[in-house]
Amino acid sequence: MIVKVCGMREAENIRQVEQTGADWMGFIDYEGSPRYVAGVPEYLPESVQKVGVFVNASLSQIRERVAAWQLDYIQLHGKESPEFCREMQQTGIRVIKAFALRTPDDLLTTESYAACCDYFLFDTPCNGYGGSGKSFDWEILTHYQGETPFLLSGGLKPESLDALLKFSHSRWAGIDLNSGFEQAPGLKDAAALSDFIYSFKQNKYNL
Ligand SMILES: O=C(O)c1ccccc1N[C@@H]1O[C@H](COP(=O)(O)O)[C@@H](O)[C@H]1O
């Protein structure tokens, strides 16, 4: 199971969260987000995969950041087309496409992305593009029959542990933790993350 912690900004907090058992760390390159991080922090993690989060960014903006931050993945939360995802993949970067799910029919959109994404991320619909702190009805995911593995996202917090331990799906690959583990926007509670990630991995898969 992959555990991604998203919305990181500050060097010291990045160092702390790197020690929590997280596998991936996300950095938001979207100016509309309270977690937007403009320049490269003084410290970038070495033992986790780095994910850049974008909303309708241009190919050149993404390419620049991938190179400057040595990103391993890009996570796309806007109206990026399958062709755009394919073009990004062809540059050698791995692609995570986010989908907001209100009803099972929203899963139909994923079909045209299957061949050009490495992961999907299923999130809660909101007025913005993500980071709502709200969860969605996971029952919708019983209708997901695609092959592409997915991360479960949207409002996950310490109290979500029991529900996550009960959840199951053959394509479920991981979880994305964000505003539910913050002391302030972009500042994560490393102790809460350590406890949660330990319990999740121990109880769920004994990893
Ligand atoms: O966190 C943000 O501000 C954000 C802004 C724009 C796009 C994505 C964003 N975050 C992603 O949203 C989901 C859910 O976050 P939350 O748990 O509901 O706070 C997560 O994948 C973040 O990567």
Per-residue model confidence as pLDDT tens digits over 121-143: 999 999 989 989 999 999 999 99
CA distance 131 to 185: 10
Per-residue model confidence as pLDDT tens digits over 61-100: 999 999 999 999 999 999 999 999 999 999 999 999 999 9
Every domain of the chain and the residues it spans: 2-206
**207 neighbors 1 (Cβ within 8 angstroms):** yes
Tell me, what's the pLDDT at 135? Answer: 95
Out of 30, 35, 178, give the residue to mutate to test ligand 1, the one with the largest number of ligand atoms within 8 Å of its CB. Answer: 178
Tell me, what's the pLDDT at 203? Answer: 87
Q: Is 5 in the pocket of ligand 1 (CB under 6 A)?
A: no
Q: Is 7 in the pocket of ligand 1 (CB under 6 A)?
A: yes
Q: Is 160 in the pocket of ligand 1 (CB under 6 A)?
A: no
Per-residue model confidence as pLDDT tens digits over 156-206: 999 999 999 999 999 999 999 999 999 999 999 999 999 999 999 998 765
Tell me, what's the pLDDT at 206? Answer: 54
CA distance 156 to 149: 19
Tell me, what's the pLDDT at 204? Answer: 77
> Which distant-in-sequence residues (6+ apart) come within 8 Å of 95 by Cβ?
73, 74, 76, 85, 88, 89, 116, 117, 118, 119
pLDDT over 90 (residue 58) = yes
Out of 62, 151, 153, 196, give the residue to mutate to test ligand 1, the one with the largest number of ligand atoms within 8 Å of its CB. Answer: 153
Atom of ligand 1 nearest to the CA of 135: 18
CA of 207 to the centre of ligand 1 (A): 26
CA of 188 to the centre of ligand 1 (A): 13
For domain 2-206, give the CATH superfamily.
Aldolase class I (3.20.20.70)
pLDDT over 80 (residue 207) = no
Atom of ligand 1 nearest to the CA of 154: 18
Mean per-residue pLDDT, 136-156: 97
pTM of the model: 0.96
The three-state secondary structure class of 57 is coil
29, 56, 64, 82, 91 from 60: Cα distances, Å: 13, 12, 6, 17, 11
